[in-house]
A and B are shown apart, each in its own frame.
Chain A
Amino acid sequence: DTEVTQTPKHLVMGMTNKKSLKCEQHMGHRAMYWYKQKAKKPPELMFVYSYEKLSINESVPSRFSPECPNSSLLNLHLHALQPEDSALYLCASSQSRGPPTGELFFGEGSRLTVL
């Protein structure tokens, strides 16, 4: 079982809805990440939090808003999404931001469908 827990596992929302994805890790890691993965594609980095500070924003649309309440929790707030935002959203954590301890540990993902 993964030590990175994501909820909900599945989410269906309309384009006018506001929802949130949640992630929790219990490994004492100090870096956490949101990735987006479309079918048959590798994960795409959206946000990185290192020591609770946002360190990378990959020009992700503002309809995605990350929040890191503490070093164990990471949220992704969703508002006014588009159907093309439907994807598997993966949370990951790592001991530190970079090598040699930067190996990523992923959660099982939240599968989002935008109608």
Chain B
Amino acid sequence: QKEVEQDPGPLSVPEGAIVSLNCTYSNSAFQYFMWYRQYSRKGPELLMYTYSSGNKEDGRFTAQVDKSSKYISLFIRDSQPSDSATYLCAMSSDSNYQLIWGAGTKLIIKP
């Protein structure tokens, strides 16, 4: 079993829809949770960074962490075609700073 599980998709939704992207993990020591967006042939770009449990909002993006369920989510409201990209979750712990990555979910927003 991988430490971090993420459905690779693709996930295809119409423009304006609310998108939900998720990762599950097995290591209860993870405390730091990140979402990166990667456009084709570009480097990953940090979208959201969350410590421990709770929600964090930034514009149309909301990150949620549920440590009791070992489950993290990224919500995108009013999705736009420019949101089409691969979204990667990543996480780390205090004892091992190395990021553990999900496989990435390819998201397609149809105009």
Contact = CB atoms under 8 A, between A and B. Distances in A.
Interface of A: 2, 4, 6, 40-43, 45, 56, 88, 90, 92, 97-100, 102-109, 111
Given A45-B98, A45-B99, A99 B44 contact: no
A69 B98 CA distance: 23
A109 B90 CA distance: 19
A100 B51 contact: yes
A12 B92 CA distance: 34
A103 B104 contact: no
Main secondary structure of the interface of A (DSSP, over half): loop
A56 B98 contact: yes
A107 B41 CA distance: 11
Contact of A102 (B42, B45, B88, B97): B97
A103 B101 contact: no
Nearest to B94: A99
Interface in B36-79: 36, 41-46, 49, 51
A106 B43 contact: yes
B98 A42 contact: no
Given A45-B99, A56-B98, A102 B92 contact: yes
